[in-house]
């Protein structure tokens, strides 16, 4: 088990191999397909996106509303293939880590290697347990998307498995 601090350093990314188990601590962003579509449109138009992308991590999640006294509701991963049309452009602009579930397209796998990034898997069906690793939630942009709005989350010991490493190794 590797304990990693977010944002990931280039050295941390290089040390990861497909199948490694990791515990993440630090800040990450959330985003699903509706938000990714808007981010890609900004990049395509040459406009800045509403948060810094360089070196960051995006967790593919649309968390359920929090109950009173909780930071966040159940926060399980979304199927990653839904972000595949937008991912290479985000990687080209500095994104370094994505967290989701399921396979990625060959184009995304190639872009991960090309851009020295990493794709992490987290377990679907454990949304309530995943939420236990989330300690802070801040809205960032696209609040009109409801649960698909981009938020910033502070996580501690967030469990994931390396699905695709920057060397081209893959378990998915």
Give the model's confidence band at 125: pLDDT under 50 very low, under 70 low, under 90 confident, else very high. confident
pLDDT attached to residue 78: 94
Contacts of 96 (CB under 8 A, 6+ apart): 7, 8, 13, 55, 56, 57, 115, 116, 117, 118
pLDDT at 127: 85
**Looking at residue 170, what DSSP letter applies?**
B
The rounded distance, in Å, linking the Cα atoms of 115 and 81 is: 18
**Distance between CA atoms of residues 93 and 84, nearest Å:** 15
Residue 123 has pLDDT above 90, yes or no: no
Q: What does the alpha-carbon distance between residue 26 and residue 132 come to, in Å, rounded to a whole number?
A: 14
Segment 80-101 shows an average pLDDT of 98
- pLDDT value at 142 more than 90: yes
């Amino acid at each position: 088990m590797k304990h990693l601090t977010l944002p990931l350093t280039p050295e941390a990314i290089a040390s990861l191999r497909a199948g490694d188990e990791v515990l993440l601590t630090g800040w990450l962003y959330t985003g699903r397909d509706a938000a990714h579509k808007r981010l890609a449109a900004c990049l395509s138009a040459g406009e800045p996106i509403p948060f810094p992308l360089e070196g960051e991590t995006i967790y593919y999640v649309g968390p359920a509303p929090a109950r009173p006294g909780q930071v966040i509701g159940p926060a399980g991963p979304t199927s990653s293939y839904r972000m595949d049309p937008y991912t290479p452009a985000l990687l080209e602009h500095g994104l370094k880590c994505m967290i989701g579930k399921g396979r990625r397209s060959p184009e995304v796998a190639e872009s991960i290697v090309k851009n020295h990034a990493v794709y992490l898997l987290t377990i679907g069906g454990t949304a309530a347990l995943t939420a236990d690793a989330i300690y802070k939630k801040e809205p960032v942009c696209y609040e009109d998307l409801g649960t698909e709005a981009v938020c910033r989350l502070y996580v501690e010991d967030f469990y994931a498995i390396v699905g695709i490493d920057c060397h081209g190794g893959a378990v998915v």
